[in-house]
Amino acid sequence: MDLPPPGDIAIVAAGALAAGFVNGLSGTGYALVALGFWLQAMSPLTAAPLTALCGVAGHVQSLPTIWKGVRWPRLWPMLLTGIVGVPIGTLLLEHVRPSPLKIGVGILLIFYSSWMAFVRRPPIVTGGGRIADAAVGFTGGVMGGMASLSGPAPAIWAQLRGFGKNEQRGVNQPFNMSILLLAFVSAAIAGLLDRTFLVWAAICLPTTLIGARIGLALFGRVNDVQFRRIILALLGLSGATLIVSSLR
């Protein structure tokens, strides 16, 4: 198989670098950043498993740094129900149109991020316990199966719980990594990992890891307030991206 054109390689590599940086800095957002670049140079059938593979690789690289924020009693309910929710979301694809769903989620993300940016004292949710955590994980899993949107639900919930930056990463990153790994295995079973995928993976994996390393270095220099603002900005940008892509 011939190599892709140099212009396509540049676009895809830039997307991998930018997405890796965002993922290393925030622990989420890889797919939304990468797909904005990659879908200009490859088909969605190649981009979807490539996003999952590179996202998992970026998460694995940064796990030693964020491991101290992982709280397993808090995380397990979200992980288990999230994994259950992925195939349910995939099945619901036959009954739900993705464009209206993405527009609705986009509006919600923009409203939430705008509101939280101007609230002097952000609300903290203390009730619900593991049942509420499990419900959020299930929501993230279903949204991941339906529209590759597993990240917003746990990211918002970690903020509403009042977690610091390490605790937020300790929730968001293992959750997203598990959902992406499940998505990648599903793509492999479906036979989507062809020679084209392998060529792009050879280009994107090292570039992703470089970007993630840079983002992770910056993560160590921001405090809880700055990290909260970064996540809010990322959520708002994600909402705008979803709306624009759906209207197209």
What are the pLDDT digits (tens) for 169-189?
888 888 888 888 888 888 788
What are the pLDDT digits (tens) for 106-134?
888 888 888 888 877 778 888 888 899 99
Any domain includes 35: yes
pLDDT for 1: 54
Any domain includes 38: yes
Any domain includes 15: yes
- Supply the range of the domain harboring residue 192: 6-247
Copy the structure tokens of residue 56: 């998992």
Any domain includes 115: yes
pLDDT for 2: 66
Any domain includes 125: yes
Query: Which helix H or strand E contains 119, and what residues bound it?
Result: none
Any domain includes 123: yes
With a CB cutoff of 8 Å and minimum separation 6, the contacts of 121 are none
With a CB cutoff of 8 Å and minimum separation 6, the contacts of 229 are 117
Domain count, the chain: 1
Q: Kindly state the greatest CA–CA separation across the chain.
A: 57
User: Please, which pLDDT band fits residue 84 given cuts at 50, 70 and 90?
Assistant: very high
What are the pLDDT digits (tens) for 36-54?
788 888 887 888 889 889 9
Any domain includes 50: yes
pLDDT for 199: 93
Any domain includes 1: no
What are the pLDDT digits (tens) for 185-207?
887 887 878 888 999 999 999 99
With a CB cutoff of 8 Å and minimum separation 6, the contacts of 104 are none
